[in-house]
Amino acid sequence: MRIDIYTQSSQLPELIDGSVLHSAMMFRSFEESKGCKPYMFVAYDTDNREIGHILIIKRRRFTILPPMLSYWYNINGEGVYREECTNREDMFAIFLEKVLDMFDFRHSFIRVKNIEDSRFAYGILRQHNFVPIRDQRMYISLHSKAPQERITRAYRAHIRKAESCGVTYRQAVTQQDINEGISLLHNYYISKTRRLPDKQILNNMLHNSDGTLSESAKLFIVTYKEKIIGSSFCLYDKERAYLAYNCGLRKRYPMQYPGIMAIWAALSNAHQAGFAHFEFLEVRALHRTHMKFINTLLNYGGKQKGTLRWLHFKWQWLNKILRAIYV
């Protein structure tokens, strides 16, 4: 078995179809953005067939107080593997060891998140001194009931009232709508602890390499009197839709419920497109102080499930302190 590492999208081979978080689209989006560098690790067997691949994103940030340039690496999920691959944890361990060998002394920290099963590679990550942080997931099953049957009576009334006032929603397909929708998201998240990716990253995700609209990412906008008052950004796998970011001008248009309509636009579109599950990525990594927002999502019929994030700092003394606190 061998592992090839790609840093340019033009050199990427044809990859196994799987999670959008490890797709060529995601690689290309970060490649064309400042402060980011993607690495695609691809494993091959002796017959030169791909066994699996995993995407690592290098991020750079400069802070003024204190003046410091920091680097960290994100691993979003366990990667993508061939269907007949039965030793996925072992393959993930090989990828992880390769990452640590390359970046162990060149990073502030390495973060592993968005792992679907919290038991996946638990022992392997502990063995490499990663610190487990409690996290949560929230999702809605769309295959058994329609979204209209899952949301609360109050939210159904809010949606009917907003639509009767003239509020509409649609997918952003023109560049003007895309720019305005992304700007609305950017202005909302600029004051939040959870930051939005660069505008160019989001724009790249919405388009294929030839400039056409992508099916792996969509932007929805909520309009009232020809003004955009809400926006939501979604990612798509084979059977799952992910709500990554959403916002609404709730204080300026309280009776139009732009925040509720932004989420409803993404949720109803996922159901119409035939996706089996709809997941709120927004919930992951939220602190307990955000319970109001979490309770809001529960009104859509969401179900909560515990999971873990993993952190590995280059300073071993810090890893030991955090392990004593969180383990």
Q: Is the peptide bond before 66 cis (omega within 30 degrees of 0)?
A: yes
Contact criterion met (CB below 8 Å) for 83 and 98? no
What are the residue boundaries of the structural domains of the chain, listed by start? Answer: 2-128, 138-306
Contact criterion met (CB below 8 Å) for 293 and 250? no
SS3 225: coil
Contacts of 320 (CB under 8 A, 6+ apart): none
Q: Output the pLDDT for position 194.
A: 67
One digit per residue, pLDDT tens: the chain, 327 residues?
899 999 998 899 999 988 888 998 889 888 877 778 899 999 999 889 999 999 999 887 766 666 767 778 899 889 999 988 888 999 999 999 999 888 866 667 888 988 888 889 899 999 988 999 888 788 888 888 888 888 999 999 999 999 999 999 999 999 999 999 999 999 988 877 666 788 888 998 899 888 899 999 999 999 999 999 999 999 998 888 999 899 999 899 999 999 999 999 999 999 999 999 898 876 655 555 466 777 777 888 888 888 888 998 888 888 888 888 877
Contacts of 29 (CB under 8 A, 6+ apart): 201, 202, 204, 205
Contact criterion met (CB below 8 Å) for 203 and 191? no
Q: Output the pLDDT for position 222.
A: 97
Q: Do domains 2-128 and 138-306 have the same CATH topology?
A: yes
Q: Which superfamily, per CATH, for 2-128?
A: Gcn5-related N-acetyltransferase (GNAT) (3.40.630.30)
Fold annotation for 138-306: Aminopeptidase (3.40.630)
pTM: 0.84
HSE-up of 237 (CA within 13 Å, CB side)? 17
Contact criterion met (CB below 8 Å) for 285 and 135? yes
pLDDT in tens, 211-240: 899 999 999 999 999 999 999 999 998 888
